Amino acid sequence: MKLSVFGEKFSAGAGILSLMDDLGNALAEGGKIMMGGGNPGHIPEIQAVMAARLRALSEDGNLLRRLIGIYDPPRGERDFLRNLAALLRREYGWELTEENICLTNGSQGAFFLLFNILAGVMADGGRRRILLPMAPEYIGYADLGLVDDFFVSVRPRIETMAADLFKYRVDFGQIAITDEIGAICVSRPTNPTGNVLTNDEIAGLSRLARENGIPLIIDSAYGLPFPGMVYTDATPVWQEGMVLCLSLSKFGLPAVRTGIVVADPGLIRLLSGANAVVNLAPGSFGAMLANDIVRSGEIIRLSREVVQPFYRRRMERALACIRDCFDGLAYRVHVPEGAFFLWLWFPGLPITGRGLYERLKRRGVVVVPGDSFFPGLPPGWRHVDECVRITYAQDEDEVRRGIEIIAEELRSIG
């Protein structure tokens, strides 16, 4: 079969796809300790809220018809959009209405649309790219561009902190915004590091974007207002010219596939046009499931009082376990400020992070090699090969066992 350039993007040879396959196969073989994926944990309180809502939806003929029997408008379920706009106005004072919000089938799909609307081959024939101002960044962006050479990313400053911690900081001195940049994008909290960009860093990026007439896209899949996996006092921001991407996935509904984009009405109209062309309409399920807790604001309370403490506790236990097991080894951990990952740095590691990943896989522990998280960064930075990402969202005993095996393997490498 002859493939278009577009078709080839999805062939098994693509870098990230082969890694994902590898992770998927490792999982399918069974008996593995899975510290690789981005699946959220299963929180009983959240599942109980959803079970009750599902019962209510299935018992009310009217609601059931809206849930399964009617295409929503291309921007998504109206009532949900109105309730979410009201919640964001009430909670943060943002000046927005439902015209500022569009739903997508997962936020991953929103990034595909946003990135390719704002960069690539431009309508005037020019070329633009997406700037990731601080690598490492989310692996899932890497293959989203419809043309090659789609991202530019910038090395962070590394600040070593007390004990065994370190923190990446945006290196504003290294960021150059040329006419070739179509948008700036950051995940906050950052996947893979658990970093939360400070309010000052966000203000700096926002200023750069505004001065250059391009959008700043903030990927808040793990952040505020929900699911709220943030352990610092970071403030959520949205203002005209900014794009805030939210998701119901990490709140506990990854299979429901609901992404939410908050942006200027012009961009929202483009996204809803793309929804209409590609999907006719976004699915109603997530919007209908979450509508009540968005209307009441309960989604924010649950995020603050249930979801955040659940992951924070797991993070603290995983970090304590690392300190126990890694004693005497050359390692540092990125200060865990959010999400559910620990980013481990082994300065001077005699093999690569990918080599370590292969060795751990043979021992039944699946992590993600750090070099996957630097799309758009010019080669030649040793640090890229000294890191791996682990997730602490899954079973706590398994996380402990996994960390013990990583420590054994590191000691055997010497």
Ligand X SMILES: Cc1ncc(COP(=O)(O)O)c(C=O)c1O
Contact residues for ligand X, defined by CB under 6 A: 38, 106-108, 138, 140, 187, 191, 219, 221, 247, 249, 254, 259
Query: DSSP labels for 378-398?
Result: PS--GGGGGEEEEE-SS-HHH
Angle ∠(330,336,337) on CA atoms, nearest 5: 155
Q: Which is nearer to ligand X, 151 or 346 (CB)?
A: 151
Q: Which is nearer to ligand X, 198 or 247 (CB)?
A: 247
Q: Is 183 helix (H, G, I), strand (E, B) or coil?
A: strand
- Give least dist CB 191 to ligand X, A: 4
Query: Is 202 in contact with 218 (CB distance < 8 Å)?
Result: yes
- Give least dist CB 187 to ligand X, A: 4
**Cα→Cα distances 192→100, 317, 338, Å:** 29, 18, 10
Q: Which is nearer to ligand X, 271 or 405 (CB)?
A: 271
Helices 285-296, 44-59: axis angle to 10 degrees equals 110
- Angstrom distance (rounded) from CA 54 to CA 64: 10
Q: Which is nearer to ligand X, 254 or 355 (CB)?
A: 254
- Give least dist CB 376 to ligand X, A: 16
Q: Which is nearer to ligand X, 67 or 368 (CB)?
A: 368
Q: Which is nearer to ligand X, 260 or 268 (CB)?
A: 260
| DSSP assigned state of 338 | B
Phi first, then psi: give them for residue 386, nearest 5 degrees: -110, 10
Q: Which is nearer to ligand X, 108 or 394 (CB)?
A: 108
Query: Is 168 in contact with 193 (CB distance < 8 Å)?
Result: yes
Helix (H) or strand (E) holding 262: strand 259-262
Q: Which is nearer to ligand X, 96 or 217 (CB)?
A: 217
Residues 6+ apart with CB under 8 A from 72: 78, 103, 281, 282, 284, 287
- Give least dist CB 243 to ligand X, A: 13
- Angstrom distance (rounded) from CA 240 to CA 29: 48
Phi first, then psi: give them for residue 147, nearest 5 degrees: -125, 160
Q: Which is nearer to ligand X, 377 or 410 (CB)?
A: 377
Rg (CA), the chain: 21
- Angstrom distance (rounded) from CA 150 to CA 174: 19
- Give least dist CB 286 to ligand X, A: 10
By DSSP bridging, strand 259-262 and strand 101-104 are antiparallel
- Give least dist CB 186 to ligand X, A: 10
- Give least dist CB 36 to ligand X, A: 12
- Give least dist CB 373 to ligand X, A: 11
**How far, in whole angstroms, is CA 405 from its chain's centroid?**
27
- Give least dist CB 229 to ligand X, A: 11
Among 342, 354, 320, which residue's Cα sits nearest to residue 394? 342
| DSSP assigned state of 72 | P
Q: Which is nearer to ligand X, 40 or 407 (CB)?
A: 40
- Give least dist CB 254 to ligand X, A: 5
